[in-house]
Amino acid sequence: MQILLATLCDSAADYQGKLSLLGAFDTLCARELPVIHPQCSLAIRICYDPPDTGRHQMRIRCVDPSDQECLPPFEPVVDVAFPSPFLPFVTRNLVLNLQRVKFDRAGLHRFIVEDNGRTLISIPLRVTLYDDPRSATGPAG
């Protein structure tokens, strides 16, 4: 199993196995804290090999700079099956649409993706203030 893509973006959707996304980002610049981000998506594309057949209990957590959870965890179940022995791999898309996410403090936040208790990837999100010297390059980072 491997993560092919994992990003925060303005929007994402799974259309019959195709992952569509718009506006990938890793930095949120705010004029003041706390900040409420109106809407974004976490998009993940996973490639499974035949040994990965079976049920995968995923867990996606968002933690703040002090490693405290700042959102309720999302716990999708992914069933992996190979309809033909000739398929070398199958892919699955996970899209988590987030609305009105509140960030109380500046710093490095992370979305941590786990499969059966094993961390697969950590997706960073930098929350910063516009007047913060570290945000000198603007919202795109």
Amino acid at 48: Y
Bridging pattern class, strands 27-30 and 118-129: parallel
pLDDT tens string 59-95: 999 999 999 999 999 999 999 999 898 999 999 999 9
Whole-number pLDDT of residue 104: 95
The class of domain 2-135 in CATH terms is mainly beta
Comparing CA positions, the residue from 47, 44, 43, 45 lying closest to residue 22 is 43
Residue 42: is its pLDDT beyond 60?
yes
pTM: 0.89
Does the pLDDT of residue 129 top 60, yes or no?
yes
Cross-strand bridge partners of residue 11 = 22
Distance of alpha carbon 4 from alpha carbon 75, whole angstroms: 20
pLDDT value, residue 32 = 93
